Amino acid sequence: MAARRFLVIGATGKQGGAVLDALLSRVSPSSLPIEILALTRKPDSSKAKSLASKPNVTIIQGDTADASTIFAKTGPVDGVFLVSVAIPWKASAEEKQALPPIDASIAHGVKHIVFTSIDRGGAASDQMPTSVGHFAAKYRIEQYLKEKAAGSGTTWTILRPTAFMDNISPDFNGKVFVSMWAGIGSKPLQLVSLKDIGHFGAAALLEAEKYKGQAIGLAGDELTLDEACKVFRETMGYEMPKTFRFVGAMIKFMLEEVREMMGWLETSGYKVDIPALRKSYPGLQDFSTFLKENSGFKKK
């Protein structure tokens, strides 16, 4: 039986890596065979070499800006996972990353495209780009995907994650994220684990008929910073690491788009229906489960 072949764009990054891991977790003697084509610009990097050592994974070197050459290397592809990396001071760069692979996928006869975007207010995400630059860029990519796929024979799924639980990490970057979170005051923030993004990305690739035409908001918990600190303390046995609030305030001051994003989170914010999502996938992680199973923090 011929293997189904999936191209994972951003395979060495956070979301692409999570999808790749989720795909690999579904490989078994009783399942349909799959081949994962992991796209990277740097096949000699340590992350790429680690991926190449895994079964069912083939490294593909390429750049999404020249997507047609990628498919010249891959051969037939059943599904594509597409992620674009936000550049806060240059939102248009996201479209340059995402639109060529959409065009090339459709021209190449790819059956299904899964694009990971961002939640912009629950059901309002379909109509609301927001004033935040990289939110609006992802909205435009969503619209482009829908328009180009219409009547082409290629179907799509859009994933709309919220803030990543994995940003709360046992390093300085994790402390900075907590400092930034303090900037939205008492407003609850919705968060999702990368593991759950991986689950839904893999599911949408493997079960395209079930997920086609859907835009799915992704969040596993909703907490104020004070509530998150309490969960962390109760789960791990010590205080959640944080740095001085002025660090987050300084970043907010320096970058206009960060100011806009923080203002949007404080006044509007993510609005994923978490109970409905958990009903469809009971394995959805809340913050405490993430801390225990996937965070990298050590419990005392």
Question: Domains of the chain, with CATH numbers?
Answer: 4-162+192-219+270-283 (3.40.50.720)
| CB proximity list for 30: less than 8 A, separation 6 or greater | none
Q: Write the burial class of residue 72 (CB in 10 Å: 0-12 exposed, 13-18 middle, 19+ buried).
A: exposed
Residue 253: predicted pLDDT: 41
* Residue 219 structure tokens: 């969040």
The confidence score (pLDDT) of residue 264 equals 86
Largest CA distance in the chain: 58
Tell me what the mean pLDDT of segment 157-167 comes to. Answer: 97
Q: Residue 102 is which amino acid?
A: I
As a whole-number percent, the residues of the chain with pLDDT over 70 amount to: 93
Mean pLDDT to the nearest integer, 125-135: 87
For the stretch 72-114, pLDDT in tens is 899 899 999 999 988 765 667 889 999 999 999 999 999 999 9
Alpha helices in 32-183 (DSSP H): 46-52, 67-74, 92-107, 133-149, 172-181
In the block, tokens 């482009």 appear at 144
Residue 243 has pLDDT above 70, yes or no: no
pLDDT tens digit string along 7-29?
Answer: 999 999 999 999 999 999 987 76
pLDDT mean over 183-193: 92
How many whole angstroms separate alpha carbon 107 and alpha carbon 91? 26
How many other CB atoms sit within 10 Å of the CB of residue 236? 17
Exposed e or buried b per residue across 75-86, where buried means at least 16 C-beta atoms within 10 angstroms of its C-beta: eebbbbbbbbeb
Q: How far apart are the first and last CA of the chain?
A: 49
**Given the structure tokens 């309490």, which residue do they identify?**
230
Instruction: Return the pLDDT at 250.
Output: 45
> Three-state secondary structure along 139-183?
HHHHHHHHHHHCCCCCEEEEEEECEEHHHCCCCHHHHHHHHHHHH
Asked if residues 245 and 181 have their Cβ atoms less than 8 Å apart, the reply is no
Report the pLDDT averaged over residues 146-157. Answer: 96
Confidence of residue 33 (pLDDT cuts 50, 70, 90): confident
Give the pTM: 0.93
Mean pLDDT across the stretch 256-272? Answer: 84
